[in-house]
Amino acid sequence: MADPTRNAGELIPPPDLAPPSLKGTTMQQRIVMWRQLMDLAEQFLLAGLRRKVGPDGDLEAAYRRWYQRRMQEHDRAMLQMGQTRQPSGGADGR
């Protein structure tokens, strides 16, 4: 197995550390892989929340709080992005 620290700081990994290619996969297979990735991400999120609230804590309430904070952060980011965008002035950019 390759040493993952050997190329630390490089943007493009060597071929033996690169993610697998999607060449030769069908759209259906790609959708299945995407869904599996989303399920895994949810499991990590819930495991992190469970760790915070403990074995007897209210996981659903912790998730609701996390989601509410996440949406507030998202809304602030969208507002900031809208406020910092400069008007283009027209189709020709003047």
Q: What is the pLDDT of residues 15-65, one digit of tens each?
A: 888 777 889 999 999 999 999 999 999 999 999 999 999 999 999 999 999
Band (84; pLDDT cuts 50, 70, 90): confident
Residue whose pair of structure tokens reads 């609230």 in the numeric block = 53
Q: Is residue 64 part of a domain?
A: yes
Q: Is residue 74 part of a domain?
A: yes
Q: Is residue 75 part of a domain?
A: yes
Q: Is residue 89 part of a domain?
A: no
Per the structure, the count of domains in the chain is: 1
Q: How many residues would you count in the chain?
A: 94
Residue 69 to residue 59: CA distance in whole angstroms? 15
**Alpha carbon separation from 89 to 5, 79, 83, 85 (Å, rounded):** 49, 20, 16, 12
- H helices of 1-94, in order, are 27-53, 59-84
Is the confidence at residue 78, as pLDDT, over 70? yes
CB 14 within 8 A of CB 2: yes
